[in-house]
Structure 1
Amino acid sequence: MHISLHGLVRGTELELGRDADTGGQIQYVLELVRALAGHDNVARVDLLTRRIHDRRIAPDYAEPQEPLDAAGKARIVRIPFGPRRYLRKEKLWPYLDCFVDLALRHVRDVGRVPDVIHAHYADAGLAGARLAALLGVPFVFTGHSLGREKRRRLLDQGQDAATIDERYAFGPRIEAEERSLDMASLIIASTQQEVEQQYAQYARRSGARIAVVPPGVDLSRFHPPSRSRSHKSAYRATVERFLRHPSRPWILALARADERKNLASLLRAYGEHPSLRTQANLVLIAGNREHLAQLDRGARTVWRELIELIDDYDLYGHVAYPKQHSPDDVPDLYRLAAASGGVFVNPALTEPFGLTLIEAAASGLPLIATDDGGPQEILRHCRNGRLIDPLDIEGIGTTLATALSDRARWKRWAQRGLRGVAQHYTWHGHATQYLRELERLVARNRRRPRSPRKSRLPTADRMLICDIDNTLLGNPEGLKRLIATLHQAGDQLAFGIATGRRLDSAVRVLKEWDVPAPDVLITAVGSEIHYGPTQTEDDEWPRHLDFRWDRQSVLDTLAEVPGLRLQPGSEQRAHKISYFADPQRPPDLDDLRRRLRERGAHVNVIYSHDAYLDILPIRASKGLAVRFVADRWGIDIDRVLVAGDSGNDTEMLSGHSLAVVVGNYSHELEHLRQRKRVYFASGHCAAGVLEGIEHYDFLGTIRQPQYD
């Protein structure tokens, strides 16, 4: 299972460059999925993305599934999480829990668990790590473009930290990357530079392997020009109508209209060099546009700057900047540039890999590329061009002029590029190496058993899960009515508790309040699961939580933090370490996570009631435990109602389950008020739970709130 959530994903006519979210990552994932489907030992490949209903985009993106190969082994599966309309990636974060829940439903519909989950970019990484944890399968992560490096580059340009953090959501993005790296069994990188300079910036101290597997190129689409084909290309006229001397070589740039692609610096270099405009034409292919005003803010800003620079340098007749191109035009563009004796240039500020570089090389086009990431290794393998400093305007211009001045060298570069791509960058070779890495993971992964236990859980088609203190308990009259409701519901309703208490404490207090024995007991803040009146332990959950759990490392690290005091030994559990926190000196949770990661501790940090701090394994929480139980017993997550009152219930209350926050809730939950599937009751404790049952008609047909 591959997961790539943002942008626009379909199998044909990719809208690459339409916006900042629809770029090379999408093409990479699609090509990889197709290449994997071509291998005999791959039975099925699902690419999960987001289903979108929006009049501004094609209806293709609303189709639930789309086949990607003739044999039916590969398909796009679109999951309808969050609002129906198209959203840029920075707006997707609140809905990732919903994606996880609905992806679990897809797995149940398929009827088999994927052997491996591979997530692409930070948003899919966060969701994919949780999904893999719930299913107990290996998790593979590819960052594509890492937040710390991108943030560093923007700061180096002199941009304001607060502004870029707000615009690009670097806070949640970097935290998502950290969590993805915490959970990953394997990281797939495209270049060694990514490993040494980008992933090295993170606090990852895990046992995850990093495999460098360069992407490939489709050699049936990208190949050198023949004289007849290059002259018949329909796109030639689209470009040449801009140019006063159309026979001159092309300096071709193909990128999104994104300030990080640094196209303005390329234009300045071209305009300021004394001879470039007489040596060559500049061809800028920067996405598709109809009207500038209709572009998103970032693309609109880039295009306005480019047009102003063309005017300032008086480059009319020397620069082509077509408004439209299709995916089928891209191979022709490379071949037209090669036939003209031109070069391909990538001046990006940072470039994790650069698929356009190997596409251009496969088309016989020499390269001028940024001295960063992927271009460094591509040019080392292919020896077909020069690297540039993307901030050195004069240097860019000089390198371009020099590259175009020696025809014999140009031919050597073109031939080297063709040989280098054939040797190092084919999709068949990529998929073969990739599968060797995955087979090592699958061989040592243990599937968890799914045999049923004696319980009402196998017969139930819905489940109520309540926190205990101040949610289930605290209102005697409300509890009496809730217990009567549970009895009336019969076997269709499974009842469970999810609490921070240890098991014996939970059982004791439930007996004191005459609460019937729950079908499932999730205790110790989600670190323990037991079933039924006999309190049978879920024997798979502890093994599930052992993943990278280093108890001593947590204790050693937090011993240095002022304001924290260990709770009594009775509150400590095999997979939970609990502290009292001084309310006068509340802990800095971001600092705690950083300290723990730097010491190699991969954990969940949960703070509640402004007084209690619980440290759990990375795979443990109330929310994950609830989903583990629902998945194990085949209960759809949208038929699970969870009730809580405090911060340690946050994850449990998020996602595609139904949720009720009781009236006496802690302020830590206020941020959930706008969630469509979270109901804030006015009744306190059990009376609020009953109110939630009635609000959702949970014992009837069940009302499912929908996003607009």
Structure 2
Amino acid sequence: MHELVQTVLNSDEKTALRQVIDALSALEKRYFLRNEISQAFADYCQHSQKPAYFFHSSSIGKLIHYTHEIILEEEYTWFILRPRIGSQEVWRLGGNMSGFEAMTPQALLDARDRLVNRFQPQILEIDFSPFYHGYPRISDPRNIGQGLGFLNRYLCTQVLTDPQYWLELLFDVLHRRSYNGVPLLLGDRIVSVIQLAKQVKQALSFLNERPPNEPYEKFRLDLQELGFEAGWGNTASRVRETLELLDRLIVTPEPAILEAFVSRVPSVFRVVLVSIHGWISQEGALGRPETTGQVIYVLEQARNLENKLQEEIKLAGLDVLGIKPQVIILTRLIPNCEGTLCNLRIEKVDSTENAWILRVPFAEFNPNVTQNWISKYEIWPYLETFALDAEKELLAQFGDRPDLIIGNYSDGNLVAFLLARRLKVTQCNIAHSLEKPKNLFSNLYWQNLEEKYHFSAQYTADIIGMNAADFIITSTYQEIVGTPDTVGQYESYKCFTMPELYHVVDGIDLFSPKFNTVAPGVNEKIFFSYNQIQDRDITVSRRVQDLLFTSEDPQILGQLENQSKRPIFAVGAMTPLDNLAGLAECFGKSQQLQERCNLIILTDKLHPHEAVNSEEAGEIERLHKIINEYNLHGHIRWVGIHLPITDLGEAYRVIADFAGIFVHFARFEAFGRTILEAMSSGLPTFATQFGGSLEIIEDGENGFHLNPTDLEGTAKKILNFVDQCNAYLEHWDKISEWAIQHIRNKYNWQLHSKQLLLLAKIYSFWNFVNQESGEARSRYLESLFHLLYKPRAEKILEQHMQR
């Protein structure tokens, strides 16, 4: 980057750079983001009548393209450059347009503190980089999020480097496998790697003489004589295949062989899914608006994990020992449960044999607070005692330690850290949605927001949780490191300041193999294609159609003048982020859209007095105002009723019956559960280009990307599709079918569960190999928890005690 900048400073383009900086200075701001910087440069080019190549291809054009932030100080201009995905550089330009020099992250954080007049010469610095030294690290940004494959290759390389050491580790891991004290895989008759290699050959010779489909029970004693216990397979052919993989792994280790072998080795039987604040039940309590997606995700994950574990146990031949998987969703018990089942200690997960919702109450402190639902922003004081109490309950319920703990969201990930640390169990984290990148500058102005949002506790918990995790699951690549033009959610934790509290110099290694992209699925029993007529309930369909189009109710606003117009359908919560009011404004500003389409909005609220906070009330009022301002009566229908999930599935299909479309107009979407639901149901889908939908949808192929800040552009894009459908009747059918097939093939829970369990096995083995390195990091995390997190949480508790 230095050469690029010097090229600018040593040429006529220096004048252009000076004028762009002067233009930014005139805006009476000192902190500028990428869009503002790009716009200032575009305005300069237009005003100066520069040719098109100058904006895109000149040296200054390239510099501006790489610039994601600019900070103006009296003497200096700071440039935060992003020359490639996942990497940032800090440069400072002198006031006389000279002296362009690389700066440290520490210097940048000091500059940000000065910007808000909260600079301290001495401040705590959090730096995780020493704990990743010596760890395997991905070099190509394109491979970020593919940690499993990278780690497999790395482990196989290590076997070739020091085969005896690594084979002894493999032997040790296999020899330790047991369930409730019963040995699995290897018995005491095999005491070394040399003997294992020899006995594998004998076992293969023995198995080659058995009928392929002969059940394991018939030759179980013969294998035990050779030193092999249960767990290799349920038939002679299955056992032979698994032992052949082990034989090949001993002789010629290759990544594909290692993955195939590990996937067959039984090592996960008990799984905990931690979801603390979710308001989790199955009857009328699929989360609050802020947690609905997470709750649906966790319930589906539990069902499918149990199915996959049952399948693996049977294939391993362990059902003969009476082994059954156990899956527990760990959440909080809420005494004042508002008519739901959230006050029951335990509840069985529907359509499972041994998956349960286990609810543990918060220690009371002030019952006026702890006996009620607590927002995700307020939950922090109770997590440590919850984790201690939950540990006892889990051990009692399982009868032993779990094999895997999966945290969900910031609070669940912190509890997963506390439990995994005490129980010495593999920990997986799933963020779902990190608050910091959603709330711009919230870390910089955290003190102004602390009373309402308590971001100091949450962001500290995030840093602890993501670094404690043995592996992290994300739904998309961009969740980790964004795109060439946008910073990823995890990337936003790389380097940031909480002024007067601490500096995060290096908060997370984005190139660590702990990151894995594993997309969730969609419940195909609920969200299936509209053309599966035989699976649809005609009574439910008629009821939902009446609700969406004709019936009158105090919770429904608007009657459609012409129901034959193509419906535009939107589902979401009444929050500024979901931006349903923005969609209504887009619709209101386009007379052509109103002539061709109706807008149908489905939310859980209609009136401001129903809102749970001022932000929600403001968004409800905004939508009412837009409807009146653009006189949308007769063209819009707003259903403010929380539908049961089965009715929601039918709602998508009813819209598809009318050849409608689905629009997801959020300002930002971490992933997009409703996008999957709509596409799976057969609705052509238009979704925000900011977030996970960039990877779900292939623009123009199986759906369309929208810019929710460009109302005119959005209207044109929808109109173009509608006009094509009107001109070519098969166009809607084509996009609909492509959407269905795309979701069916890529986003299903069977694939998710298979990959998740494989990750748990590989990373458990990796933990065993790197015990000493991991311990140092864990000690550091414990210090941050006790010295930083707990004091922040205690301040929240002081407020709660006064209620």
Shared fold (TM-score, shorter chain, > 0.5): yes
Conserved? CA contact 2:530–2:656, under 8 Å: yes
Q: Displacement, 1:163?
A: 5.5
1:515-554 equivalences under 5 Å are 547=774, 549=776
Q: Displacement, 1:410?
A: 2.0
Which residue pairs with 2:274 in the alignment? 3
Determine the C-alpha separation between the residues in 2 that align with 1:265 and 1:65: 42
Conserved? CA contact 2:588–2:632, under 8 Å: yes
Determine the C-alpha separation between the residues in 2 that align with 1:14 and 1:672: 27
337, 344, 354: which one pairs with 1:73? 354
Q: Displacement, 1:233?
A: 2.5
Which residue pairs with 2:549 in the alignment? 240
Q: 1:129 to 1:386 in 2, by over 3 A?
A: same
- Residue 218 in structure 1 maps to residue 538 in structure 2: no
457, 462, 466: which one pairs with 1:177? 462
Q: 1:296 to 1:7 in 2, by over 3 A?
A: farther
Determine the C-alpha separation between the residues in 2 that align with 1:162 and 1:403: 47
Conserved? CA contact 1:382–1:420, under 8 Å: no
Which residue pairs with 1:109 in the alignment? 396
- Residue 267 in structure 1 maps to residue 584 in structure 2: yes
138, 145, 159: which one pairs with 2:426? 138
Determine the C-alpha separation between the residues in 2 that align with 1:153 and 1:620: 26
Conserved? CA contact 2:701–2:738, under 8 Å: yes
Tell me which amino acid in the other structure corresponds to 2:391.
Answer: L
Q: 1:164 to 1:258 in 2, by over 3 A?
A: farther
- Residue 420 in structure 1 maps to residue 742 in structure 2: yes
300, 304, 312: which one pairs with 2:621? 304
Which residue pairs with 2:330 in the alignment? 48
345, 354, 369: which one pairs with 1:64? 345
Between structures 1 and 2, the one with greater helix share:
2
Q: Displacement, 1:112?
A: 0.9
Tell me which amino acid in the other structure corresponds to 1:236.
Answer: Q
Name whichever of 236-245 and 187-196 sits farther off: 236-245
Which residue pairs with 1:476 in the alignment? none
Conserved? CA contact 1:5–1:124, under 8 Å: yes
Q: Percent identity?
A: 26
Q: Displacement, 1:240?
A: 1.4
Per-residue CA distance 1:179-206 (angstroms, 9 max, x = gap): 1111011000000111212212222138
Q: Displacement, 1:275?
A: 0.8
Which residue pairs with 2:297 in the alignment? 28
1:180-195 equivalences under 5 Å are 180-195=465-480
381, 384, 396: which one pairs with 1:94? 381
Tell me which amino acid in the other structure corresponds to 2:346.
Answer: Q
Conserved? CA contact 2:278–2:294, under 8 Å: no
Determine the C-alpha separation between the residues in 2 that align with 1:392 and 1:437: 41
Q: Displacement, 1:380?
A: 2.6
Conserved? CA contact 2:606–2:638, under 8 Å: no
Q: Displacement, 1:336?
A: 1.1
SS of corresponding position for 1:224: coil
Determine the C-alpha separation between the residues in 2 that align with 1:160 and 1:672: 22
Which residue pairs with 2:127 in the alignment? none
- How many corresponding residue pairs? 475
Conserved? CA contact 1:266–1:396, under 8 Å: no
Q: 1:311 to 1:102 in 2, by over 3 A?
A: same
Which residue pairs with 1:282 in the alignment? 599
Which residue pairs with 2:751 in the alignment? 429
Q: 1:137 to 1:229 in 2, by over 3 A?
A: closer
Q: 1:168 to 1:260 in 2, by over 3 A?
A: farther
Tell me which amino acid in the other structure corresponds to 2:348.
Answer: P
SS of corresponding position for 1:243: coil
Conserved? CA contact 1:7–1:88, under 8 Å: no
Determine the C-alpha separation between the residues in 2 that align with 1:191 and 1:672: 36
Conserved? CA contact 2:571–2:603, under 8 Å: yes
Tell me which amino acid in the other structure corresponds to 1:205.
Answer: D
Determine the C-alpha separation between the residues in 1 that align with 2:795 and 2:349: 43
Q: 1:289 to 1:58 in 2, by over 3 A?
A: farther
1:121-160 equivalences under 5 Å are 121-152=409-440
Which residue pairs with 1:37 in the alignment? 306
Q: 1:288 to 1:621 in 2, by over 3 A?
A: closer
Conserved? CA contact 2:446–2:456, under 8 Å: no
Provide the alpha-carbon RMSD of the alignment: 3.2
Determine the C-alpha separation between the residues in 1 that align with 2:560 and 2:795: 59
SS of corresponding position for 2:617: helix
Q: 1:544 to 1:77 in 2, by over 3 A?
A: farther
Per-residue CA distance 1:336-392 (angstroms, 9 max, x = gap): 111111111111111111111111111110110000222111113993221011211
Per-residue CA distance 1:498-518 (angstroms, 9 max, x = gap): xxxxxxxxxxxxxxxxxxxxx
Determine the C-alpha separation between the residues in 1 that align with 2:446 and 2:418: 30
Unaligned runs of 5+ in 2: 1-271, 314-324, 364-369, 482-487, 494-506, 551-558
SS of corresponding position for 1:33: helix
Conserved? CA contact 1:37–1:69, under 8 Å: no
Q: Displacement, 1:445?
A: 4.7
TM-score (norm 2): 0.55
SS of corresponding position for 2:640: coil
- Residue 318 in structure 1 maps to residue 649 in structure 2: no
Name whichever of 401-410 and 222-231 sits farther off: 222-231
Which residue pairs with 2:669 in the alignment? 351
Conserved? CA contact 1:230–1:336, under 8 Å: no
- Residue 441 in structure 1 maps to residue 441 in structure 2: no
Determine the C-alpha separation between the residues in 2 that align with 1:188 and 1:351: 17
Per-residue CA distance 1:518-573 (angstroms, 9 max, x = gap): xxxxxxxxxxxxxxxxxxxxxxxxx9885252xxxxxxxxxxxxxxxxxxxxxxxx
Name whichever of 281-290 and 254-263 sits farther off: 281-290
Unaligned runs of 5+ in 1: 448-542, 550-601, 604-615, 624-646, 656-668, 677-706
Conserved? CA contact 1:381–1:424, under 8 Å: no
1:386-397 equivalences under 5 Å are 386-397=704-715
Conserved? CA contact 1:53–1:59, under 8 Å: no
Determine the C-alpha separation between the residues in 1 that align with 2:664 and 2:784: 45
Determine the C-alpha separation between the residues in 2 that align with 1:313 and 1:222: 34
Tell me which amino acid in the other structure corresponds to 1:268.
Answer: E
1:553-572 equivalences under 5 Å are none
